[in-house]
Chains A and B, each alone.
Chain A
């Protein structure tokens, strides 16, 4: 098993944990973290898996991941802005439907 593939499996693990966390958590910040984990896992799979298929560095997926990271950061930043604004307005860090009966 090449190291590429190992990291691809690692990516799989990250994805799984990310999905688990994303579903489990209602706190928005944690969801965001889970999303980032998912993203990282995906990137790992993308690069690791395609490189394990060829057995050498493949620049295309790497370039894609670079783009992906930037996009993810942009999304994260945007989400944070929204979350903060939401928290400021409502004093909550969860969405209304997840706040339980109140």
Chain B
């Protein structure tokens, strides 16, 4: 692993994490000894293509990986404490003030049956013990902070009555509501139009700076990474290929795969560049390495 070490004692430290989907005699490894560190107040990008396991790391950190997925080795240290073996009750206590999530799809991540106001207020009441009026007032404040217009009206509305960009703002407000130390942002702008994406990215960055939270920013988009992340981890086949400062990764990538990804990204400012698909030989090599890893680490299966 390369790159400058994190500035402080990491707030999140994923150590040699192994995770596999098991069931009906099949055993599919998803994460193969992934490790990464996030310092306080750092925005850490986690980049990879589909199947790289990036979303699964985010879910494992929050303890909400789907049921057939099993952590078969390694640890996730949140503020020095391993959260992979927490009971459900302990995990719940960690949410809200400890960790939060900005989900991928704003259209489906708000409960269609409840008003926006109630969905913001319920976290405040659960984790900060606020009473109904106080939570309502704080929800209004939060909507103001995420630049929702006419927030009084929005509080009384149902999710289907507001636009996708507005819903993502509401979800950002919920994520930051209890001032968590770590937020997992799981492809938070993938479902949005590009003009809305820019506003939402700006908003996430501003809230992060204001609250001093760390963010694990999961994305497939190198452009977004380059604009918002301090450090980046590149993931393929559940393995970390390289980690480092964003500038170093984007401008002087060390791993062939990172270089190939950058070469495969279309850019409107360089129309002359031919897009170079990730070479098949490289993909084959990476897959072979992953299989070799499985063979060598059979004990985790």
- Chains A and B come from one and the same complex: no
Query: Which residues of A line the B interface, CB within 8 A?
Result: none
**B contact residues vs A (CB 8 Å cutoff):** none
